[in-house]
Chain A
Amino acid sequence: MAKTLSFDYTDGNITVVVSRGQGIPNVVWLKVQSEWGARGRHPARAVDIPVSTFLSRLDWVAPYCRQHGISAEWRGDSRKLVMRRVAEHRLLQEALAGGVETEPEEVEQALRASRFQRELRSFQRRDLLQLVAIANGANFSVPGAGKTSVAYAVYEYERALKRVDRLLVVAPISAFESWEEEAKRCFATVPTIRRFDGRIEPGTEVLLINYQRLQSGFAELATWVASGRTHMILDEAHRMKRGWGGEWGRNCLSLAHFASRRDILTGTPAPQSVFDLVALFDFLWPGEARRLIPSDGQDPTATARVADRIAPLFVRTTKSELDLPEPRVRLIERPLDSLHSDIYAALVGRYRGVFAASRRAEYDLRALGRVVMYLLEAATNPALLTAGSHRHDAIEFRHPPLDIPPDSEVDELLRAYPDYETPWKFRLVKELSETNARLGRKTLIWSNFVRNLETLRHYELEPLHPAIVHGGVADRSEQLRRFREDPDCAVLLANPAALGEGTSLHEVCHDAIYIERTFNAGQYLQSMDRIHRLGLPADQETRVTVLSSRETIDDIVDTRLRQKTDRLATLMQDPGLNVMALPAAPEDGLEGEEGLDVDNLDLAALARHLAGE
């Protein structure tokens, strides 16, 4: 008697039903349940499997069934579904081999005949050509390179070829406006664009939704995506980098299978390590990511190998291609003043023990993140230690004041401090900003700690009529307007979390000073992008100054940031990568992303610093 497993699927459904035919032995059915799950009304007879789970665990079926003499019966659209998955695997191989031969003329012609009307720049046309040659694409171009326009071009081209008929864009809310505005410039006849609000109106051609809403709107979305030929685009795709381990990642990955074409856009795909790419590529090529990108992300040779392997799968217009002059980055390193230095030393003494205890074990990132915070504060402005975080500090920066035993050495030093010294960085910032102001230049000043910003605003920089932007500033647009337009306003004080990817200051400001930085490479690169982006005249110099306290955590941060940006450069095979930008979302809040973004290597380096090495 034939032992048969039956597979049932209808296009538009989000589950596949696998049924146990007569003669299927217990051990085989248990295998089905243990591979795909045993959910359903009668799991002893049939199981309901989410499409994405089903498709990502297909590799065991053929060898196992052959071994046990099991037959497969494909009902409804199930055969098509599996064949598409098998076909996608082949499409990936094809993409890796360079993709389909496409004539530039053909693409131009097809676009001209469509609704697309925007004149694309040369680098955009080049990216477009490569993207349409492969089945799914990634665009890692720097912000300001016009990825949105290219994305619309890809969509319209695929649509002209009747491969897709609708578009789903998942993006941060702050980007919605940009997608809507760009559409008006890109299309002669603008397609119907709607923002998702629970129900999807018929006639919607382009649907915008943000990452958080994927969860509550999932069923609605999945049905919409599955019932047409949907092009799905993830904007700022690094936000789903947690993959199956995060809510946003899960939802994106679950929708992936229903889309006819997938694209991802991000300016910083992998600021921490190669491992950050896995979820992104799992979205683009479901089930294939782990074979493309090994799990050993820390191995230095792995980075280069991965870079080679995935090169055919993405496009990247670099900063240098935008023909922007390189920014001039200088590090000013000074020792701490004496009392300040004693405070820092006392703190180091205290924390040395904490790190030693964690040695060789997995660092508890959360607990030690707090220590990182205190050391950053101590290296810049000891007054921060006693105050704790400001209520307007970004969420990941919230922390209580340092726990100081009364009458201890540290306590005395901290109490004496304000009477005796001002942090050297504050003095220098004042000096540099005043010099700039005299030269008619405006200065953008970065600090992660709102207290620093507020102190500078009210004291050292007060004569320069500073504008200020952080989480607690209500009249943000007014502050930005003043900085841009008011000649007396010479300084903008900002924290990286608050000044997001939508803001351009490059027209009025070409000087930035970092009072302190964290281990977060992405945030650092993105902040630089505020004043260094497409639109700068070729002869405009951009000047970046980083202040670093000698022999403190600032040294470690500097070393680690260089390493991280270097790694990213190798990955993207372009030295120009060093000054790419990556948003760490302000109001949207990056899923699980710590503002400090500390990893194990950071902590290992820090541990050595504390040990006095």
Chain B
Amino acid sequence: MTSTEEARRADIAAKAAAATETLSIPWQNGRRTLHVINVSLDNVLLNPNSHRIRSQVESHVNADQLQREPFSESAQDFIADILREFDGFQSLVDSLHESSQLEPGIITAEGVLINANNRAVALRDLNEKYIRVGVLPEEATTQEITELEARLQLAKDYKQDYTFTNELLFIQEQIDAGMSYEDLAILLGKAQSRRPAHLRKGVADIEQSLRILQHIREVQEMSGKAIKLTFFDPHQSALVEADSAYQALREQDPAQARRVRDGRMAGVLVGVTYRNLRNWDSDHFLRDYVEPQFDHGDLLTAIDSSSIAGDGQDAGDGLDIFEETGQEDRPVDPSRMLAAAAQRYGADDEATVGGITKRELFDGLHERFTQAAEEKGLDLRDERRKLRPIDLVVDARKKVSRAREALKNAQTERGFDRGKFGYEIRRLRKELDSLAEAGGLDG
């Protein structure tokens, strides 16, 4: 332990011993009382493992340093920057400026903030000197602290704070720690109750999250880590839908399911809009709309030459008991499309790989995908256009039927304007005749 660390611990311990105020927190299966102290803002450390920022920390340009020396000055500055990026940080600063800190935060015996990280940053920005915190006992284990932090986060309206990828990481962490899918589903509000139907849905959500995270990690690997986790935050809906499409197909045709999923992910990487991505729901789309776009040229060559992990690599041992299943060869392989985009992701725009620049590849894929989607949209619209006049006529007939019923009641009323009624009927007849004529029908 360095002298700063020792001094910090000693300072905190001394203050705790002299403390009069206490704070009660949930702890393991019960509660625990902590001493609340005023500690110098120089003596507290921002928490690099906070679940709220894990994805951002991992994706940070200086991620290495953040991992190796999270408590170094520069790392701490990076964390402060990440925290300042959050929506609502400015209002926090404003409100702390107006009134002093209400709720105490919580720190470990070593001075690491378990919550109140953004409060600490805000107070520092306001040039305050002290922060009020409860102090955890020295014996607290890492697991206990992690659980506490998670609980505190989730007790608030976590939905606001957890980005999509942070939630994925959280789910993975809890599953690895042995939490059951059911408990996790309840904890995260993905299951409304413990009723079997609700639980099944909640568990399905958790399973989906794991699959999505796994696919993201594969793609990140393909890119040589150039694609950061936070890249995927704005694409939650697209990824969730892609997985649902994948699930719908995988029992029946796992290869097709993979093609759909990889194709959509390739679209995400090159910036295809969410609406257009949805069109890729089966091999029909690939065959009828995508493949025709790629009949020749550099783009296709570049895709074909992209290697999928392990192309031609030695097979591992022990796999001989599985039968070789033939791979279906398609003119355009979405998995290679994805690999092509991912592998080039970190390159410069003008860098040439496989005979084509990165920009050309990305623009090319984007354009073709969007074009394919639009063509499909047009085809669907044509279908609808054909039905429209028929729909309208059917509606009109139903209305006339209803008018007959209404007539029964209205006729007996005094003041029923028979004349006007007759007039409107004649007008209707005329319209009907013109319509039939325009449609080339007799009578």
Interface centre among A43, A291, A352 (most CB of B within 10 A): A43
Residues of A within 8 A of B (CB-CB), count:
47
- Specify which chain A residues have a CB less than 8 angstroms from the CB of B398 in the assembled complex: 352, 356, 611-612
Do A74 and B318 form a contact, CB below 8 Å, given A42-B178, A612-B398?
A: yes
Chain A residues near B313 (CB-CB < 8 A) = 66-67, 69
In the complex with contacts A30-B217, A66-B310, A89-B319 CB distance below 8 A = no
**Chain B interface helix/strand/loop/mixed:** loop
Asked if B217 contacts A69 (CB within 8 A), the reply is no
Q: A59-B254, A71-B316, A72-B318 are in contact. Are A34 and B210 (CB under 8 A)?
A: yes
Question: Are A67 and B310 touching (Cβ within 8 A)?
Answer: yes
Complex CA–CA separation, A72 to B321 (angstroms): 10
Indicate whether A69 sits within 8 Å of B310 (C-beta atoms), given known contacts A38-B210, A60-B254, A89-B323: yes
A356 to B397, CA, bound (A): 13
Contacts of A37 in B (CB 8 A): 181, 207
A31, A43, A62, A612: the one contacting B175 at CB < 8 Å is A43
Which residue of the partner chain, among B214, B252, B316, B394, contacts A295 with CB atoms under 8 Å? B252
By a CB distance below 8 angstroms, the chain A residues around B322 are 58, 61-62, 82, 86
Per-residue 0/1 for B158-188: is the Cβ within 8 Å of any A Cβ (1 yes, 0 no)? 0000000000000010011110110000000
Residues of chain B in range 285-335 having any CB-CB distance to chain A below 8 Å: 308-311, 313-319, 321-325
Residues B175 and A67 in contact, CB atoms below 8 Å apart = no
A39 to B181, CA, bound (A): 8
- In this assembly, does A398 line the interface, its C-beta being within 8 Å of a C-beta of chain B? no
Say whether A404 faces chain B, with CB atoms less than 8 Å apart. no
* Cβ contact within 8 Å between B252 and A82: no
Q: A96 contacts which chain B residues (CB < 8 A)?
A: none
Indicate whether B194 reaches chain A with its CB closer than 8 angstroms: no
Inter-subunit contact B213/A30 (CB<8 Å) = yes
Docked-complex contact A68 and B310, CB < 8 angstroms: yes
Contacts of A69 in B (CB 8 A): 310, 313-314, 316
Q: What residues of chain A lie closer than 8 Å to B253, measured between beta carbons?
A: 290
**Contact of A611 (CB < 8 Å), options: B172, B210, B394:** B394
Within 8 A of B (CB), among A172-201: none
Judge whether A86 and B310 touch: CB under 8 Å: no
Tell me if A38 and B325 are in contact (CB < 8 A). Answer: no
Chain A nearest Cβ from B109, distance in angstroms: 27
CB–CB A62/B319 < 8 A: yes
- A504-530: CB near B (< 8 Å → 1, else 0) gives 000000000000000000000000000
Give chain B nearest CB distance to A357 CB in angstroms: 13
A387 contacts B by Cβ under 8 Å: no
- Beyond A27-B221, A294-B252, A611-B394, whether A43 also contacts B178 by CB under 8 A is yes
| Chain B hits for A31, CB < 8 A | 214, 218
Contact yes or no, A34 B401, CB < 8 A: no
Closest to B394 in A: A611
CB distance from B146 to the nearest CB of A (A): 14
Find the B residue at minimum CB distance from A245.
B200
Interface residues of B in 229-253 (CB under 8 A from A): 251-253
| Extra 10 A-B pairs, beta carbons < 8 Å, given A34-B210, A69-B314, A73-B318 | A27-B221, A30-B172, A31-B218, A66-B316, A67-B308, A72-B316, A72-B318, A79-B321, A83-B321, A86-B323
Q: Which 10 A-B pairs have the closest CB atoms?
A: A67-B310, A72-B318, A71-B316, A62-B322, A44-B176, A71-B317, A290-B252, A34-B210, A27-B217, A30-B214
Residues of A within 8 A of B (CB): 2-4, 26-27, 30-31, 33-34, 37-44, 58-63, 65-74, 79, 82-83, 86, 89, 290-291, 294-295, 349, 352, 356, 611-612
B residues with a Cβ closer than 8 A to A are 172, 175-178, 180-181, 207, 210-211, 213-214, 217-218, 221, 251-254, 308-311, 313-319, 321-325, 394, 397-398, 401, 405
Q: List 12 A-B contacts (CB under 8 A).
A: A30-B217, A31-B218, A33-B214, A37-B181, A41-B178, A43-B175, A43-B178, A61-B322, A67-B313, A79-B321, A89-B323, A291-B252
